[in-house]
Amino acid sequence: MDVIRNFLLSPEEYLDTFWESDALIWVDWREYDESIIKYINEKLPEEDKVKFTCVEVEKERDIDIILEKDGISTAIPYAEDYTDRDTTLKSVQEYVSPKYQIRWFMGSLGSDTLAFCVFPSSQWEQLEDEFGAEKVAYHFAPIKEDSVMFEMDMDEVFDLLEQRGEA
């Protein structure tokens, strides 16, 4: 968490250090959805890891990913014909919530490889208390039910970069 705190204290000074830190989970737009879950699990303690199975299905997308929690199995709600990173990330966020939050590192906006961080919600709350919720969300956007990350079209990306003063 110190690497995020240092970054928030001085984003320009610590950007390169943060960019190379272990705090980030890098996800390419071509990534297999089950790989995303594995990356997130690498950051979680054993007892909090996302339990999942991949099942071949007779649909154009070929697989379902089934999340298991508290004895309940739930399929990630993909479209009929494809899986997508946004749906996977939102489903995993729902799974790890409220104990953890996955946040999108907005410094990766505009790339085909996006960065995410997963930390206990209490640690995100401490950062919000220290730096303000708006500043933390500006750099680390919470993943919500309506979040669009990989499925954003280029006009939306450029509009968002412009709004952030980065275009």
Under DSSP, is residue 120 helix (H, G, I), strand (E, B) or coil?
strand
Q: What is the pLDDT of residue 164?
A: 81
Q: What is the mean pLDDT of residues 107-126?
A: 95
Q: What is the pLDDT of residue 165?
A: 79
Q: Which two tokens stand for residue 150?
A: 């990989």
Question: What's the pLDDT band for 160 if we cut at 50, 70, 90?
Answer: confident
pLDDT band at 49 (very low <50, low <70, confident <90, very high): very high
> b or e along 33-52 (b: 16 or more beta carbons within 10 Å of the residue's beta carbon)?
beebbebbbebbeeeeebeb
pLDDT top residue among 157 and 149: 149
Contact 40, 85 (CB under 8 A): no
Could you count the other beta carbons within 10 Å of the beta carbon of residue 87? 18
Residue 17 belongs to what domain range?
Answer: 2-163
pLDDT of residue 76: 97
Task: Tally the domains of the chain.
Answer: 1
pLDDT at 4: 95
Q: How far is CA 78 from CA 8, 49, 61, 101, 102, in A?
A: 35, 21, 9, 21, 19
Quick one: average pLDDT of 91-95?
Answer: 98
